[in-house]
């Protein structure tokens, strides 16, 4: 197997302590990071937050059962909901439309297969994940001075939520994958970094508006894409007529759609500098137009074989 283990966040809507323990055990065995709804009044807070999810486990006995299905289906329709059943009654057709699957504690193997099919539907080579992170960290370090940069473990989301008001998108094109990379951040914290002299933007050129932060985020996007293109995406098919899909952005709902149910691969970077509150930058990849990681692995293995055989030398 050539893929790396990646986590995904799951919202747990359950009030029975015994069931919570069993759900937590299942999550730990299946690369799921469980986040429990604190109380029945937290649904609106969750929906309005930037909690980027891979899915929801919803107990049939949860006191806000109908509301969770209806509101998620209305606001975050991309997030799959898996219902824990305790009776044999069928869901109403209205509620069933918002549910991706049902399970009991006797059918956890079927739930596991469903999770693999929905949340973990795409395989990511370990070397690709590692180098994506390393290249991005290097480019961030080149643009922010005297700043400590941390990166959380990569994770998968099916949410299409946008973080912050700054959003840059760049196409990813190669002969084995096609999609998009985005960087997302809040404007005000990035402004503070610029004002504090932590970037390469000169203060006499800084207008405290959108141009400074836009320039910085745009430059970061180009640098990261350039580094990755040189290493992974430098071969492009000559096909003249390639399928395209529109990208739709709803700024009021902080929502973006790539016309696909593909999961997004996410990295969250936190930048820390003295006397400045930490800032977060989200980097997301979606390979919604083409994804053939086995061709990436074949190319990688061919390179290693050439090195081992003496056909290539490492400098």
Mean of pLDDT values over 64-69: 91
Q: Give the contacts of 55 (CB within 8 A, at least 6 positions apart).
A: 8, 10, 11, 79, 80, 81, 82, 100, 115, 118, 119, 158
Per-residue model confidence (pLDDT) at position 207: 59
Q: What is the pTM of this model?
A: 0.87
Nearest by Cα to 173 from 37, 34, 27, 288: 288
Least confident interval from 45-59, 97-111, 117-131, 228-242:
228-242
Choice among 32-41, 70-79, 272-281, 294-303 with the minimum mean pLDDT: 294-303
Would you say residue 152 has pLDDT above 80?
yes
Q: What is the pLDDT of residue 291?
A: 92
Predicted confidence at residue 297, as pLDDT, reads 65
Query: What average pLDDT does range 144-154 have in this prediction?
Result: 92
User: Cα–Cα distance between 231 and 103 in angstroms, integer?
Assistant: 43
CA angle at 92 for the pair 86 and 95, rounded to the nearest 5°: 90
What is the structure's pLDDT at 279? 92
In whole angstroms, give the CA distance from residue 84 to residue 133: 36
* Average pLDDT of the segment spanning 203-232: 81
Backbone angles phi, psi at 303, to 5 degrees: -65, -45
Pairing of strands 101-103, 81-84: parallel
Q: How far apart are CA 84 and CA 200, in angstroms?
A: 52
The pLDDT of residue 206: 55
Query: Is the CB of residue 260 less than 8 Å from the CB of residue 245?
Result: yes
Q: What pLDDT does residue 168 have? A: 95
Q: Enumerate domains of the chain plus CATH numbers.
A: 7-118 (3.40.50.2300), 126-308 (3.40.1550.10)
Compute the distance between CA of residue 284 and CA of residue 103 in angstroms, rounded to an integer. Answer: 30
pLDDT of residue 312: 42
Q: What is the DSSP letter of 87?
A: S
Average pLDDT over every residue of 303-315: 47
């Amino acid at each position: 197997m050539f893929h790396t283990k990646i986590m995904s966040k799951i919202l747990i809507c359950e009030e029975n302590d015994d069931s919570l323990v069993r759900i937590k055990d299942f999550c730990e065995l299946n690369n799921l990071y469980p986040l429990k709804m604190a109380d029945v009044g937290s649904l609106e807070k969750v929906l309005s937050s930037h909690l980027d999810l891979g899915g929801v486990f919803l107990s049939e006995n949860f006191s806000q059962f109908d509301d969770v299905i209806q509101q998620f289906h209305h606001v975050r329709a991309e997030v799959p909901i898996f219902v824990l059943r305790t009776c044999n009654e069928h869901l109403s057709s209205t509620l069933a439309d918002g549910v991706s699957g049902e399970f009991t504690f006797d059918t956890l193997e079927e739930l596991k297969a469903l999770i693999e099919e929905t949340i973990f539907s795409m395989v990511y080579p370990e070397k690709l994940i590692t180098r994506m992170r390393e290249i991005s960290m290097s480019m961030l370090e080149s643009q922010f001075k005297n700043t400590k940069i941390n990166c959380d473990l990569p994770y998968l989301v099916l949410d299409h939520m946008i973080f912050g008001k700054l959003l840059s998108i760049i196409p990813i094109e190669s002969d084995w994958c096609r999609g998009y990379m985005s960087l997302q951040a809040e404007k005000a914290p990035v402004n503070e970094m610029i004002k504090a002299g932590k970037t390469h933007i000169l203060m006499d050129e800084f207008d405290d508006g959108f141009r400074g932060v836009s320039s910085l985020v745009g430059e970061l996007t180009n640098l990261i894409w350039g580094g990755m293109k040189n290493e992974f995406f430098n071969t492009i098919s000559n096909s003249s007529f390639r399928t395209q899909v529109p990208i739709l952005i709803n700024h009021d709902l902080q929502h973006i759609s790539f016309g696909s149910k593909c999961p997004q691969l996410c990295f969250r970077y936190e930048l820390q500098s003295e006397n400045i509150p930490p800032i977060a930058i989200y980097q997301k990849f979606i390979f919604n137009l083409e994804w053939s990681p086995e061709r990436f692995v074949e190319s990688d293995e061919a390179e290693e074989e050439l090195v081992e055989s003496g056909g290539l030398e490492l400098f």
